[in-house]
Amino acid sequence: MLRRLTFALCLALTPLALHAQEAEPDPALLVADTVVVTPDERLIAEGNVEALYDGTRIWARRITYVSETDSLIIEGPIRIDDGESVVILADAAELDSDLENGLLGGARMVLDQQLQLAAVQLARVEGRYTQLSKVTVTSCQICGPKGVPLWSIRARRAIHDEEAQQLYFDGATFRVLDVPVMYIPRLRLPDPTLERARGFLFPSIRTTTELGSGIKLPYFIPLGDHADLTVTPYLSQETRTLELRYRQAFVNGDIELNGALTRDTVLPDETRAYLFGEGVFDLGNRYDLSFNFEVTSDESYLSEYDYSGKDRLDSEVSLSRTTRNTNLLAELVHYNTLRDNELNSTQPTIIPDLRYERRYQMTNGLGGELRLGLLGHSHIRYSESDVRGRDVSRAGAGATWLNQWTFGTGLQMAAQAGLALDQFSTGDDTTVTDVDNSVTPSAALTFRYPFLRSAGGGARQLLEPVAQIGWVGGRDADVANDESTRQELDEGNLLSLSRFPAEDRRERGLASVLGLRFLHKAASGWEAGLAVGRVYRSTRNDDFTATSGLDNAASDWLFATHFRNTDGLYIQSRTLWDEQGEVSKSAARGAWSNDRIDLGASFILLPADTDEDRDEKVAEWTFDGSYRFNRHWTVSGDAQYDIADNRAVEAGLGLAYRNECIEAAFTADRTFADSSNLDPFTTYGLTVTLKGFSTGGDAGSYSRTCKQ
Question: Is pLDDT at 527 greater than 90 in this prediction?
Answer: yes
CB 508 within 8 A of CB 475: yes
DSSP designation for 345? G
Of the CA atoms within 13 Å of residue 343, those in its CB half-sphere come to: 7
Question: Is pLDDT at 460 greater than 80 in this prediction?
Answer: yes
- Kindly report the average pLDDT of the chain as a whole number: 88
More confident residue, 468 or 688: 468
Question: Is pLDDT at 288 greater than 90 in this prediction?
Answer: yes
- Specify the pLDDT at position 697: 52
Q: What is the mean pLDDT of residues 424-440?
A: 94
Highest mean pLDDT among 199-203, 352-356, 408-412, 701-705: 352-356
- Specify the pLDDT at position 26: 59
- Specify the pLDDT at position 17: 38
Band (pLDDT 50/70/90 cuts) for residue 16 is very low
Strand 391-406 versus strand 312-322 pairing type? unpaired
Q: For 603-638, what is each residue's pLDDT tens digit?
A: 999 999 888 888 888 999 999 999 998 888 999 999
Q: For 312-342, what is each residue's pLDDT tens digit?
A: 999 999 999 999 999 999 999 999 999 888 8
More confident residue, 278 or 102: 278
- Specify the pLDDT at position 673: 66
Strand 71-81 versus strand 391-406 pairing type? unpaired
- Specify the pLDDT at position 18: 37
As a whole number of angstroms, the distance between CA 221 and CA 695 comes to 12
Question: Is pLDDT at 20 greater than 80 in this prediction?
Answer: no
- Specify the pLDDT at position 19: 41
Band (pLDDT 50/70/90 cuts) for residue 6 is very low
- In a 10 Å sphere around its CB, with 0-12 CB exposed, 13-18 middle and 19+ buried, how is residue 655 labelled? middle
As a whole number of angstroms, the distance between CA 401 and CA 419 comes to 9
Q: Print burial letters for 94-116: b (CB count within 10 Å at least 16), e (below 16).
A: bbebbbebbebebbbbbbbebbb
DSSP designation for 203? P
Q: For 166-206, what is each residue's pLDDT tens digit?
A: 899 999 999 998 899 989 999 888 888 888 778 888 888 99
SS3 632: coil
Of the CA atoms within 13 Å of residue 109, those in its CB half-sphere come to: 28
Band (pLDDT 50/70/90 cuts) for residue 7 is very low
Our measurement of the distance from residue 666's CA atom to the centroid of its chain's CA atoms, rounded to an integer in Å, reads 21
Highest mean pLDDT among 92-106, 487-501, 665-679: 487-501
Q: What is the mean pLDDT of residues 524-532?
A: 94
Q: What is the mean pLDDT of residues 467-475?
A: 96
Q: What is the mean pLDDT of residues 144-161?
A: 88
Q: For 70-84, what is each residue's pLDDT tens digit?
A: 888 898 798 988 877
